[in-house]
Structure 1
C-alpha cells in the first residue's frame, strides 16, 4: 500500500487544500492529512477543531484520514509509515521555502520523499490567512471555503466579537 501524508496548519481548510487532498487521494492508496499542532502560532481554531473541520469536508473521500501531530513532518511521515510528503505550491515564493524543507527532510530521512502538487489555477491566490482576514471584515468567504467551513469561521469570529 502506498501511503502519503499531507501536513499543514489548515487554519482554516480552504478549497485549495481540498483540491490538493483530492488529487493526492487519486495518486495514493491512503493519504493522511496531518494537522500541525504548533505551539508557536496562535491559530483561529484549535487543533481538535481543525481535525473536525477536515473530517467533515473530506468525509466523502474514503482513503483520506485526518490526524493531529506535533513536531517535524518527516517524523510524522515515518510514524505513519508513509514514504511521501505531499506539499502544495501556489507560487514561486512557495517553491523556494518548500524546496529547502524538502531537502532538509531528505537529509533527516533518506527514505521519505516530497512530492509537490501545484495548486489548481483557480485557487492559486488563496491562503488561510486571506480567508481569515476577509472573514474578520465581514466579507463573503463562500468562494474560498466549503459551506461547513464558512459556518465554523463565522461562529468562531462571532464568539470572539462577543468576548471583546
Structure 2
C-alpha cells in the first residue's frame, strides 16, 4: 500500500469515528422518475440506499432534475444530519429536465423537447415548414422543397 493510500485510509478511519461519511460513490440500481428518487448500491459497504433524492426538496416543484442511467456511478451527499441522500452528479444520464414556470426543456435518447403549456418547438417548426412547402411562386423561384423536406426530417429527428 502506497503512502497516499495509507493517508487516505487513516483519514477515512478518523472521520468514521467522528461521524458518518458526508458523501458516497455508488452505482444506480433503479430510478423512479415519478418520485424523483433512485436506489443506490454502495459496493464498499454492500448496502443499498433506497429513496435517494434526485433533487434536494421533494415538494412537487421542480427546477432541474438529472435522471441517472441504471448501472452508472453516482456521487451522493448526505442531507444535513439525516440518513437521507441526494444525487449531485452521475457518470451517465438517461434524461434531464428543466422546468421554469409552465416551460419545460427535456432531453433523453429520443431527442430534445422544448414545451410551454401544450405547444412544442417541434410542432411550431413543422407548421412553418408545412406552410412554406405549399407556397407556389408565379414569378421568381419556388421554395426548395427538397431542402424543406430535409429540414423537416432533421427537426423530427432532433426534437420530440
TM tier, smaller: under 0.3
In our comparison, the structure showing a higher alpha carbon Rg is: 2
Relative to the length of structure 1, the TM-score reads 0.23
Instruction: Name the one with the larger strand percent.
Output: 2
